[in-house]
Amino acid sequence: MNREHKRCLIIGSGPAGYTAAIYASRANLAPLLYEGLQPGGQLTTTTEVENFPGYPEGITGPELMADLRKQAERFGAEIRTGIAVKADLSKAPYLVTFDDGHEVEADTIIISTGATAKYLGLEDEQKYAGMGVSACATCDGFFYRNKVVAVVGGGDTACEEALYLASLAKHVYMIVRKNYLRASEIMQERVRNAKNITILFEHNTLGLFGENGVEGAHLVKRKGEPDEELVDIAIDGFFLAIGHSPNSSLFSKYLECDEVGYIITKGHSPSTNLPGVFAAGDVADPHYRQAVTAAASGCKAAIEAERYLGANNL
């Protein structure tokens, strides 16, 4: 059986994983990083990143991730392509199996597998990815200044996204499947008091249209009812705010997670309930989901891994 031992195993790339690899390498931990299903993480699907420090003119998501990857390799991180398919965290050293059958025994593990935005499942969401479709208003809202956008969802996240976009965009539509908002009362009140937000209750999205990007959305009002009505709205951007799914299922048998699946860490540290196992980035962050906060948590995870190894003479 093909098995090796590592002091530090990093599962998942993106800002958290690559930053953890940079810090772990500089600490002489000789980390091994497996990039996972989407090397570079969610940012590789983002065209322009303008809010990551150090890039005053902005940079594309793939370029930013390539830079971080090169920096990690410069300090000696070993980076492999592969997906973790099985984990045994019942005892240390911990054992992880990858899709090629290779097994890695590790004294410390940094889990940076991210979270996947939930989509409606429309073909047009893929067609217009990076051309008007986004799952992060904070990331992409700036590009829609004085334009018209739509936000899908009726919970707190959708309201927060709509309010943020309302401060930038000319007008914001909220596309809500039910005839009410699920958000907290205070968030509902803020949305209703925003002069440039229109809530479209009992509307479902059928598709998007546009030549070189999103120009509008096909909706259906009161789907399946006798008074069902097809409605088109003109928009420049289409934002999904129906939640994220943290990629934690492989580890949830051993790690404490919240009701959604986000890995629970202790206080402001990346430490989990298992000694030597740390979580960084979106897999443990239901609140911010930003590249810079993910990178910061990757830094903290590597520092904590170094301290754990030193304290235990590993």
Taking the C-alpha atoms of residue 295 and residue 314, their distance in angstroms, rounded to an integer, is: 25
Taking the C-alpha atoms of residue 34 and residue 84, their distance in angstroms, rounded to an integer, is: 8
Helix (H, G, I), strand (E, B) or coil at 218: strand
What is each CA distance from 275 to 25, 62, 140, 304, 311, in whole angstroms? 21, 34, 37, 10, 11
> Which residues belong to the active site?
136, 139-140
Helix (H, G, I), strand (E, B) or coil at 302: helix
- Torsional class of 222: left (φ above 0), alpha (ψ -120 to 50), beta (otherwise): left
Q: At what angle do helices 156-166 and 185-193 cross, to 10 degrees?
A: 30
What is each CA distance from 220 to 20, 29, 44, 180, 206, in whole angstroms? 46, 56, 32, 16, 7
Taking the C-alpha atoms of residue 249 and residue 233, their distance in angstroms, rounded to an integer, is: 38
Q: Residue 130: name the closest of 58, 216, 238, 39 by CA.
A: 238
